[in-house]
Amino acid sequence: MAPLPGELVFEAPKKGKPPLHLMDLDPAGRRAAVEELGLPAFRADQVSRQWLGRLSDDPTEWTDVPAPARDAMSAALLPTLLTPVRAIDCDGGTTVKNVWRLHGGALVESVLMRYPERVTMCISSQAGCGMNCPFCATGQAGLTRNLSTAEIVEQVLAGARSLARGEVAGGPGRVSNVVFMGMGEPLANYRSVVGAVRRLTEPAPSGLGIGARGITVSTVGLVPRILDLAGEGLPVTLAVSLHAPDDELRDTLVPVNTRWKVSEVLDAAWAYGEATHRRVSIEYALIKDINDQRWRAELLADRLVGHLVHVNLIPLNPTPGSKWTASRPEDEAAFVRALERRGVPVTVRDTRGREIDGACGQLAAATP
C-alpha cells in the first residue's frame, strides 16, 4: 500500500501500542501462535470457537481445553485490551455508551443502539481523530493513536457478549450492524480497519459472522483509501461525510477537502459503488445557516442525481464550544423536499444518544 501524499499528517504516534491479541490474527496466524506456545494447532480453533462462537471470555468455561493450555493461551494471546471506565444508557436502556481505557491510557467510546429489528454498534477506529472537522467533538483534541484490529473487534465483542447475556434492555440478542462512525477516521487506520472488517464478517470460528451488508465504513473522503477499499472484495457500505456540495464551504467544514476535492471524493465513491454494487451513503450534517440553504440542496442534487446513492441528513448535534446549531425544522424540511423532488433518496437520521453525549460528533471521552 503506497503511502498517501502527506501521510505524516495522518500517522498516529506510536504511544501506548497494544499487545498482540488473538483477534489480531487470522486462523492461520492463530494456529502458528498457539504452536509457538508449544500447544497443538487445533487448540487455536477451540479457543476461537469459545471466543467468537460462544462469546465466552472466561477460560474456566472452556471445558474442551485442558486447564494448562487455557492458562497459557489466555496469558499469551488474550490480554485485556479494553478496560471499562463507565457505561451510560438512555432510551430505556436500549442505547448504551461505553467508555474504554486502552493500553497507554487513551480513552475511546463505543455505542450500542437497539432497534426493534436490529442492533447497531457504533465503534471507534482511533483514539481521537486527526481530521479536525470544526463541528465534531472528537477532532478537537487531535489524534492520540490508531487502534489495533483486536481493539476494534473487542468493542463489538463486548456488545455481543452483553447482548448474549441478556444485559441489554429487550432481552438476549445479537449484533446485526456495525458502523465505523465512532471516534477516528477509519481509512486513516486502513490496515487495522480492514482486518477488523474481516474478523467481523468471516464465519465462526474465524470471525463473528456479521453480514458485510450490515457493516458501514464512514470516511471524510481519503480518496486513495476509498479506491483501495473497493479492491478488498468486502461488500461493506461506504459512507462519505460530505456536509457540503461545494469546495469553498467543504474546505472549512472538512479540512481534508483542501487535499481531495468534492468531485474527486464523489468519483471515488461512485467507483466504490461500481466495484461493490453497493449503494453509497452520503452523510450531511445540517448546520443552521451554514450548509442548509435551498441552493446548496440543489447543488447537492446536481452532483448526486443518477447515481446509486442515499443521503443521510444528520441534524447537527451540539458539541462543547461550537457556535453552530441544527437547522430550523422548516429549512430541514425544505432541504429534504428539494432532494426528493430531484429523485435523490434521502432520510433524516434518527439521532440516538444525545443526552449521554453518544450521538454523532459528540464522542470525546474527555471525562474518565
- Whichever of 82 and 220 has its CB closer to ligand SAH, that residue is 220
Per annotation, catalytic residue among 122, 133, 136, 360: 360
Q: How far is the CB of 358 from ligand SAH (least distance, A)?
A: 12
What are the cell numbers at 261?
A: 476535492
- Whichever of 46 and 216 has its CB closer to ligand SAH, that residue is 216
Name residue 41's amino acid. Answer: A
Could you list the beta-strand ranges (E) of the chain: 83-90, 95-101, 107-114, 119-122, 126-128, 143-146, 177-180, 215-219, 237-241, 280-286, 309-315, 346-348
Mapping DSSP to helix (H, G, I), strand (E, B) and coil, where does residue 78 land?
A: coil
Q: How far is the CB of 292 from ligand SAH (least distance, A)?
A: 13
- Whichever of 184 and 207 has its CB closer to ligand SAH, that residue is 184
Q: How far is the CB of 159 from ligand SAH (least distance, A)?
A: 18
Give the angle 328-265-134 at the CA atoms, nearest 5°: 45
Active site residue 129: no
The angle that helices 67-77 and 27-36 make with each other, rounded to 10 degrees, is: 110
Chain mean position to CA 8: 22
Sort 76 into a burial class: Cβ within 10 Å, 0-12 / 13-18 / 19+.
middle
Mapping DSSP to helix (H, G, I), strand (E, B) and coil, where does residue 95 land?
A: strand
Q: Which residues bind ligand SAH (CB under 6 A)?
A: 131, 133, 135-136, 181, 185, 218-220, 241, 283, 285, 314, 316-317, 319, 360-361
Q: How far is the CB of 352 from ligand SAH (least distance, A)?
A: 12
Q: How far is the CB of 229 from ligand SAH (least distance, A)?
A: 13
Residue nearest to ligand SAH (CB): 361
- Whichever of 100 and 135 has its CB closer to ligand SAH, that residue is 135
Residues with Cβ < 8 Å from 58, sequence gap 6 or more?
none
Active site residue 11: no
Per annotation, catalytic residue among 109, 151, 185, 283: 109
Quote the radius of gyration of the chain (alpha carbons, Å).
21
- Whichever of 34 and 286 has its CB closer to ligand SAH, that residue is 286
Catalytic residue IDs: 109, 360
